[in-house]
């Protein structure tokens, strides 16, 4: 990156560049096995959220239609969060810390010019997925929240994001995900009708409604 180009974009090092250097230093001094574990998690860990969504779908086949509606909305919520964050990144254009600070000893190769840092896409996706899963299936949502925190932390550890990139990414992911996650349950009548047709093998038959008016599995998840 040329000096003139660096001046044309945002430099976030003044916010928490010192903390970023400290974390990268911890990573440089950490045991090899730990660094490799974090590196692999940072690279492919988002796949866990896809697995959790599949598990949520499988569990929702025996739940009420509102639960299935929230599960089906989960991947759409993640896509929406990614789109919002991509627009946000293009507006801010923050240089990656590894490039701005000239740090070469990072676990992950420093992204090239034009691959902006703020907010962290990985973190936005992880927290949007965790939020959607929290509303769809509380048990799996708890796992997803822990995984989202670990994903965000890993992006600083491998050297490609400032801590503030991750913190704001978490906020963006949650804020974008909450409204549609809350509204998704309104599609329950559509899911209920679809369960009576050709999609029944995919959507399940749903739970038997109890005397209290709530499906047993849905009541358990809430």
pLDDT tens digit sequence for 14-49: 888 889 999 999 998 999 999 999 999 999 999 999
For residue 108, count CB atoms less than 10 angstroms from its CB and return exposed for 0-12, middle for 13-18, buried for 19 or more.
middle
Quote the CA–CA distance of 169 and 125 in Å, as a whole number: 8
Summary count for the chain: helices (H), strands (E): 12, 0
CA of 181: how far to CAs of 46, 74, 104, 186, in Å?
19, 7, 41, 10
Q: Does the pLDDT value for residue 176 go beyond 80?
A: yes
Cis ω before 64 (30° cut-off from 0): no
Q: What is the pLDDT of residue 33?
A: 94
Q: What is the pLDDT of residue 63?
A: 83
| 3-state helix, strand and coil shares in percent for the chain, rounded to the nearest 5 | 70, 0, 25
What confidence tier does 103 reach under pLDDT thresholds 50, 70, 90? confident
Q: Taking the alpha carbons of 214, 215, 218, 222 in that order, is the dihedral positive or negative?
A: positive
Torsion of CA 36, 41, 47, 50, to 10 degrees: 150
What confidence tier does 104 reach under pLDDT thresholds 50, 70, 90? confident
What confidence tier does 13 reach under pLDDT thresholds 50, 70, 90? confident
Q: What is the rounded average pLDDT of the residues 102-130?
A: 90
Quote the CA–CA distance of 203 and 35 in Å, as a whole number: 41
Q: Does the pLDDT value for residue 216 go beyond 60?
A: no
Q: Does the pLDDT value for residue 210 go beyond 50?
A: no
Q: What is the pLDDT of residue 188?
A: 85
The residues that bridge with 10 in the sheet, in sequence order, are 94
Q: What is the pLDDT of residue 9?
A: 57
Q: Does the pLDDT value for residue 209 go beyond 70?
A: no
Q: What is the rounded average pLDDT of the residues 168-183?
A: 96
Comparison of pLDDT for 218 and 82, the residue scoring more: 82
- pLDDT tens digits for 66-101? 999 999 999 999 999 999 999 988 888 888 998 888
């Amino acid at each position: 990156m040329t000096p003139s180009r660096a001046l044309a974009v945002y430099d976030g090092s003044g916010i928490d560049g010192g903390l970023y250097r400290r974390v990268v230093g911890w990573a440089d001094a950490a045991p090899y096995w730990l660094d490799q574990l974090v590196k692999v998690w940072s690279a492919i860990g988002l796949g866990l959220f896809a697995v959790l969504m599949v598990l949520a779908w499988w569990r929702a086949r025996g739940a009420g239609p509102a639960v299935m509606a929230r599960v089906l909305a989960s991947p759409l919520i993640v896509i929406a969060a990614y789109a919002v964050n991509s627009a946000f990144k293009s507006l801010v254009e923050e240089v990656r810390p590894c490039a701005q600070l000239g740090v070469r000893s990072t676990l992950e190769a420093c992204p090239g010019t034009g691959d902006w840092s703020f907010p962290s896409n990985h973190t936005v996706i992880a927290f949007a997925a965790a939020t959607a899963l929290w509303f769809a299936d509380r048990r799996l949502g708890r796992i997803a929240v822990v995984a989202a925190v670990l994903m965000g932390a890993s992006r600083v550890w491998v050297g490609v994001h400032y801590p503030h990139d991750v913190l704001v990414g978490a906020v963006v992911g949650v804020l974008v995900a909450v409204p549609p996650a809350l509204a998704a349950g309104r599609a329950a009548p559509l899911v209920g009708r679809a369960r009576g047709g050709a999609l029944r093998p995919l959507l399940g038959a749903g739970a038997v409604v109890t005397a209290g008016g709530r499906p047993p599995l849905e009541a358990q998840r809430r």
